[in-house]
A and B are shown apart, each in its own frame.
Chain A
Amino acid sequence: MNYSQSNFSHLYIERAAENFPMTEHLLSRFPKAERICIDNYKDVFARPGQHFQTQKRSIKLILAVKKDHLIYRGSNNAQDFGYSNFHYNALILNCVYNCDYCYLQGMYPSANIVVFVNTEAYFSATSKAINQRLDPSTPLYLAISYDTDLLALESLVPYCHEWIEYSRRKDNLLIEIRTKSANYRALSDLVPHDQVVLAWSLSPEPVVSRYEINTPPLERRLESAAQAIDDGWSVRLCFDPVLLIANWRESYRQLVERTFEKLPAEKIRDISIGIFRMNAEYLKRIKKQRTDSDILYFPYERNGGVVSPSQTEIEEMNTAISTLLEEHVNKEKIEVWM
């Protein structure tokens, strides 16, 4: 018997967020949810004593207005794919999925999902950033699904639609929408354009079933990506994070093989490889709360503030996976995160 409430059983609504169209849309989507009025989303999202994995049993929705930091400059730890004007934003905090290795568990105090409803303010901030970008010879590269999975939530919060249409109207803007979802059909009514990159994170099926809780199986992600390519979208593949599981060589060999059985290699925009790494403080916080996943308790090495497999293991895995990929795509299309 399930003793937990369903997801989105409660909507916490900032007073300042009450009259936005997205708030009205979400209220209409959950007419039976409890509505709780709040002054500031942090009163709920950042209250002390929360337990991330307990909250994952019944995720609540918090509707808020983002007042500052509407766009962030990308850090040195982020993959920028050669774009010097790399930025990201936070339209939504947290994710509907629950991957064991996810750094959000250590980064955020809560598993509840915050939806910032003031989209127009984000558009204004982005326009300003485009005009003020440091390198005018390249577009502003903006990752909009950075600390979340927007496409997974698209049926509920149609931000991919809004941003794809916004980018269509904007020069010098390239947006990346990264996802593990198989929800491409939510975008299939849109006309593709070249200022959008749809990026799918792919993992071997044993990793998906064991560590990527609630995510769609690999096959369905590949089907989604194949449909997007077929419709004319620019598609990126992200083998990230690569996990040092038992038989990782064989698992990732099968992953690469299956990927190119399903997808036309020549139509892939580019590919990224990233071996598992995490901010050491985040991992420490996660381990304080959960003791149910071996992937969190692997004897990683700490290098600076980051934990990861040893340098030797990283090099071995990067080389092995790059070699597998180079059988299908040009080396120049592969970006390895070192």
Chain B
Amino acid sequence: MAKVIITAIHEEARPLIEKIGLKKDPHAHRIPLYRRDDTILVVSGTGKVKSAIATTYALANIESPENTLVINFGLCGCCDTQRPLGELVFINKITDAATRRDFYPEIILKHNLREASLTTFDNHVLKGRETVSSDMVDMEASGFFPSASAFIPLENIYCLKLISDHLEDIKLDNPMIREKIETCLDAFMEVISSGSNLNSRSTPIAADDASILNKLCEVLKLTITQRHQLRDYTTGYIIRHQKGLDLLRPYCKQTVKNKAERNRLFKTITHELQSK
């Protein structure tokens, strides 16, 4: 399963880059992007707009959204002083402070983290200066989540946050951030590993059958509607008969000269696929 990680700043990303062995993509100039095998990490910059842009940048051309996990990972402030600093939490509700709009991550994955609600603000939040109705605060999640859900199935989108402060006016330096991130890396990797095993959506059309279908669409010059219909009929054929699409191979060798011929052949094929 492919993994896409979105962090706001380099200091949050660096321990992950080292742990996973990611390499900087020399072609990504405007938004820093690191990759290794099926894992990508993007450093968005601070704020929800930058997070939305970076998430879109990373996901817009994903080939197999069903087989992709996307994770927003970073530091957050916590309103509850009982919660320890350095705890990694799984966010179950994201509120955008400016619009009051709520987003609800789909939590199907079994995990060992505590969950929390989070509000995304446009600026740093200090204790007593803002009314906060959620457990955590950050500056990215409400930009990340709707962008990610435009491309990736809901259950594959995680927002994991590390409690860095209790809304005190403390400036964290880089070594401090690194130290905090390193303490939660194992927990983070465990969530990703479990998520990779939760592959939820599958297709009965195997790779061989898919190539037969593609070939058939090409040689018959099928319309978009016919392609959809053909996919529907072939899916039905495969699951009703529990066998592949070998019966379509002879049609892949045929040629059609005009629309009428194509439509006739299409009708023959669909009739055969629908046979009871």
Contact = CB atoms under 8 A, between A and B. Distances in A.
Nearest to B199: A3
B102 A43 contact: yes
Nearest to A290: B201
Contacts of A5: 107-110
> Which of A9, A51, A58, A291 gathers the greatest number of chain B CB atoms within 10 Å?
A291
A39 B194 CA distance: 31
A294 B107 contact: no
A3 B110 contact: yes
Interface in A266-292: 287, 291-292
B104 A54 contact: no
Contacts of B204: 291-292
A322 B92 CA distance: 52
Contacts of A3: 109-110, 194-195, 197-198
Nearest to B116: A34
Interface residues of A, number: 34
Judged by DSSP, the binding face of A is loop
Interface string A293-326: 1100111000000000000000000000000000
A10 B194 contact: no
Interface in B91-107: 92-93, 102, 104, 106-107
Interface residues of B, number: 33
Given A287-B232, A294-B236, A299-B276, A55 B104 contact: no
Contact of A38 (B102, B109, B198): B102
Interface in A39-91: 39, 43-44, 47-51, 53-55, 57-58
A54 B155 contact: yes
B236 A58 contact: no
B240 A298 contact: yes
B149 interface: yes
A294 B155 contact: no
Given A293-B239, A294-B236, A10 B107 contact: yes
A279 to B, nearest CB: 17
Contacts of A294: 236, 239-240
A137 interface: no
A299 B239 CA distance: 12
Contacts of B92: 10, 34, 36
6 contacts: A3-B109, A5-B107, A9-B107, A54-B108, A291-B205, A297-B232
Given A3-B109, A54-B201, A58-B107, 20 more contacts: A3-B197, A4-B198, A5-B109, A10-B92, A34-B115, A36-B104, A47-B104, A49-B153, A51-B155, A53-B200, A54-B108, A54-B153, A57-B200, A58-B108, A287-B232, A292-B239, A298-B236, A298-B240, A299-B274, A299-B276
**Closest A-B pairs by Cβ, 6 of them:** A297-B236, A299-B274, A3-B198, A294-B240, A54-B200, A49-B154
